[in-house]
């Protein structure tokens, strides 16, 4: 069993101040969260740098990913060092994730830049049901959406500042292996959790 934060922005997102080295240092220092996905806005530039820094620590795993902006709403793709081909539509992003063995997650569906009920029109692998920047109401709506679609629910802090890291996380029935983590999410062997003492919840 691993604990992972599936939605984190580094300085390779224009609105984030988290340095890749700081993210790795925070994982090293954390008592139980040792896995993080780097999901910058429309960029994969932060992935390799962070993975390289983390390679010095055998108990830390960085999952490469990206948060893609589509006109219908944001989609997180886990398990890629590449961007999907354009035009970035929900179908293209979901198909791309499938083609690379990755996981497509509807990000914060009931917040700004969220897909909301439109997510029903596409074939995604999971719904983000706990987002560190979303209200409890928005997260509850996301949980209902995931339930009604029969999809796994995931958690991501959506951190843009160090203080926002790891406010929520996933328990995943997997080892420190990217493919195993991605397969576990698709199978639904994942549960979204709130970090005890998190100010937001």
The distance from CA 73 to its chain's CA centroid, rounded to whole angstroms, is 15
- For residue 150 the two structure tokens come to 């029969």
Per-residue pLDDT in tens (0 to 9) along the chain, 201 residues: 999 999 999 999 999 999 999 999 999 999 999 999 999 999 999 999 999 999 999 999 999 999 999 999 999 999 999 999 999 999 999 999 999 999 999 999 999 999 999 999 999 999 999 999 999 999 999 999 999 999 999 999 999 999 999 999 999 999 999 999 999 999 999 999 999 765 554
**Nearest-angstrom CA–CA distance, 80 and 103:** 9
Side-chain half-sphere exposure of 88, counting CA atoms within 13 A: 17
Contact status, residue 104 vs residue 35, Cβ threshold 8 Å: no
Mutual orientation of helices 45-54 and 20-29 as an angle, nearest 10°? 40
């Amino acid at each position: 069993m691993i604990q992972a934060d599936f939605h984190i922005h580094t300085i390779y997102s224009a609105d984030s101040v988290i340095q890749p080295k700081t993210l790795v240092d925070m994982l090293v220092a954390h008592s139980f969260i040792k896995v993080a996905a780097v999901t910058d806005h429309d960029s994969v530039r932060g992935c390799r740098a962070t993975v390289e820094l983390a390679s010095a620590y055998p108990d830390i795993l960085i999952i490469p990913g990206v948060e893609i902006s589509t006109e219908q709403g944001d989609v997180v793709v886990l398990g890629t060092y590449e961007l999907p081909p354009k035009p970035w539509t929900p179908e293209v992003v979901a198909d791309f994730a499938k083609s690379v063995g990755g996981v497509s997650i509807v990000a914060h569906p009931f917040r700004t830049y969220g897909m909301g009920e439109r997510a029903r029109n596409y074939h995604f692998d999971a719904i983000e049901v706990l987002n560190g920047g979303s209200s409890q109401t928005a997260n509850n709506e996301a949980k209902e959406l995931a339930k009604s679609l029969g999809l796994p629910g995931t958690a991501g802090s959506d951190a843009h500042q160090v203080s926002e890291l790891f406010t929520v996380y996933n328990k995943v029935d997997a080892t420190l292996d990217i493919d195993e983590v991605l397969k576990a999410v698709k199978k639904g062997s994942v549960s979204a959790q709130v970090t005890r003492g998190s100010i937001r919840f």
